Structure 1
Amino acid sequence: MVGSGGHDHFFGREVWHVSGRAYRGLSADERQADRRERLISAAYTLYASLGFPGTTIERLCSEARISNRAFYECFSGREELLQVVHERCIEEALGSVAKSVQEAPDTFLGRLEAGIAGYVGFVTQDRRRARIMHLEVRRAGDQPLLASRERTMSAFYKVIEDAPEGTAPVPSGVDPHLLSLAMLGALQELIVDWVLAEDPPEVEAVVGAAVHLLRRVFPASVLQPSEHA
């Protein structure tokens, strides 16, 4: 606990916001860490509700209850702040996927379907998370988007690489990197549609559409029965 002043839960961790009086007993690093978490928490809500283009630094500082000067002691600008929020979302989403894959049937398709279901389920638990990861990051320039694609591509491709010995998960003549990119692009658009829809489809329908596409992509040699069929 850093000090008094209230707390909330953000990204699965407890975040304490200290009062001005409590700041007197804290080091400069502790004060800056608290301000940084305030800004991350504010950005998580504002970037999702107002959108990245509509969220000013002044509004972020007001929500976080810090000065504009303190903002620039923590982040170089709105883009860096979004990248930090987005990377934290990705980190937790991939952790959820890893857990789902570990608990899945020991088949290539079983693990891949479990990963898709785990990812979609986790991302859509909180509309703010889904919007930041799949919509607002596109509006913030290339760097956050490129970092996101690299991490998610690596995780998706690892499932293909770890396929049971003797299977041929990638169709002959198809580049596995491009195949992974195509699958992730389709999943991305499904979630974007879910975020933007006034009456979004059930999460199970989003997972079902992604799994249906998956079954059309890979050869019959790896389409073994799974719990997610």
Structure 2
Amino acid sequence: MLATERRAARRIRLLDAGLDLLGTVGLPATTVRAVCRKAELTTRYFYESFNDVDELIVAVFDRAVEQTAQEVVAAIAAAPADYASRARAAIQTGVMSLTDDPRRARVVLAEGLGNPALLERRGAALAAFTEITRQQVYDLLDVADADDAFVQATAHMLMGGFTDLMISHLAGALPHARDQLIDDMTDLLVMTGEGMATVLNQRQRSKSRRRAPPRARPGSPGRNRSS
């Protein structure tokens, strides 16, 4: 094995150890020593890949988010090209991705609130998932010439709601089994998307009526009359 390959393998071991610690015992217990002990590497090899524990934690978070995002995007691409089917594919894949590995769920949803660097990355991740939602709206719903600010606000609301529901579900605060949660979240996503499309189209028709020139009434002033 080449030196670069050995270094890459050590980095993966450190990332795996970081995920295990961050996703089980949490941020305060995820230290350089704890990570090295879990990875069975000396601190020398830790600093070969990371400047400090914050850099490792951000890398663990980014990898967990990227894995979930790739799974969701692949599921959307494989689903039939209608909003309801793709909504179910996205919700089902996202929920299963986070519940099949509770460590990933804790890293992505919870631990990011306790560290400034992770909080910034969490905001960027939510923005990326929001953009996926926004693009599906434009691709699959009839919202030509849409008010993009309204679309963005709706997408942000949907992602915020998904995040809070997942946190509550994982904490045992909801009475849902996983399959029921997927069904309910899918229905909420579909209803919200279709309702948003209805509002946008109503607004568009209203704007069109306001822009249309008034019709001249028969016998109104200025109309040419025969003498």
Deviates more, 1:58-67 or 1:79-88: 79-88
Deviates more, 1:188-197 or 1:42-51: 188-197
Partner of 2:212: none
Partner of 2:49: 74
How far off its partner does 1:45 sit?
0.8
Change in 2 beyond 3 A, CA 1:113/1:172: farther
Amino acid at match of 1:175: F
Partner of 1:153: 130
Partner of 1:19: none
Equivalenced residues, count: 196
Pick from 146, 159, 167 the counterpart of residue 192 of structure 1. 167
Pairing 1:41–2:42 present: no
Pick from 100, 120, 124 the counterpart of residue 75 of structure 2. 100
Deviates more, 1:39-48 or 1:173-182: 173-182
Measured in 2, the distance between the counterparts of 1:221 and 1:186 equals: 16
Pick from 127, 130, 137 the counterpart of residue 112 of structure 2. 137
1:171–1:218: 8 Å Cα contact kept in structure 2? no
Pairing 1:162–2:139 present: yes
Q: Which runs of 4+ in 1 moved over 4 A?
A: 169-174, 220-223
How far off its partner does 1:207 sit?
1.6
Pairing 1:57–2:70 present: no
Q: What is the DSSP-based 3-state SS (H/G/I as helix, E as strand, rest coil) of the residue aligned with 1:59?
A: helix
CA deviations over 1:169-189 (Å, ceiling 9, x no partner): 998796211111110011001
Q: Once the two structures are aligned, what percentage of the paired residues are identical?
A: 24
Measured in 2, the distance between the counterparts of 1:147 and 1:221 equals: 24
Amino acid at match of 1:211: T
1:168-183 alignment to 2 at 5 Å? Answer: 168=143, 175-183=150-158
2:18–2:56: 8 Å Cα contact kept in structure 1? yes
Amino acid at match of 2:65: I
Amino acid at match of 1:153: T
Measured in 1, the distance between the counterparts of 2:145 and 2:103 equals: 34
1:105–1:111: 8 Å Cα contact kept in structure 2? yes
CA deviations over 1:153-201 (Å, ceiling 9, x no partner): 222222122115xx13998796211111110011001111122228974
How far off its partner does 1:60 sit?
0.6
1:170–1:218: 8 Å Cα contact kept in structure 2? no
Measured in 2, the distance between the counterparts of 1:200 and 1:143 equals: 32
Deviates more, 1:151-160 or 1:195-204: 195-204
CA deviations over 1:25-63 (Å, ceiling 9, x no partner): x42x33322221111010111111101122221111111
State TM-score, norm by structure 1. Answer: 0.74
Pick from 67, 75, 98 the counterpart of residue 123 of structure 1. 98
CA deviations over 1:5-40 (Å, ceiling 9, x no partner): xxxxxxxxxxxxxxxxxxxxx42x333222211110
Change in 2 beyond 3 A, CA 1:108/1:148: same
Structure 1: any 5+ residue segments left out of the alignment?
A: 3-25, 224-229
Q: Choose between structure 1 and 2: higher helix proportion.
A: 2
State TM-score, norm by structure 2. Answer: 0.75
Measured in 2, the distance between the counterparts of 1:71 and 1:150 equals: 31
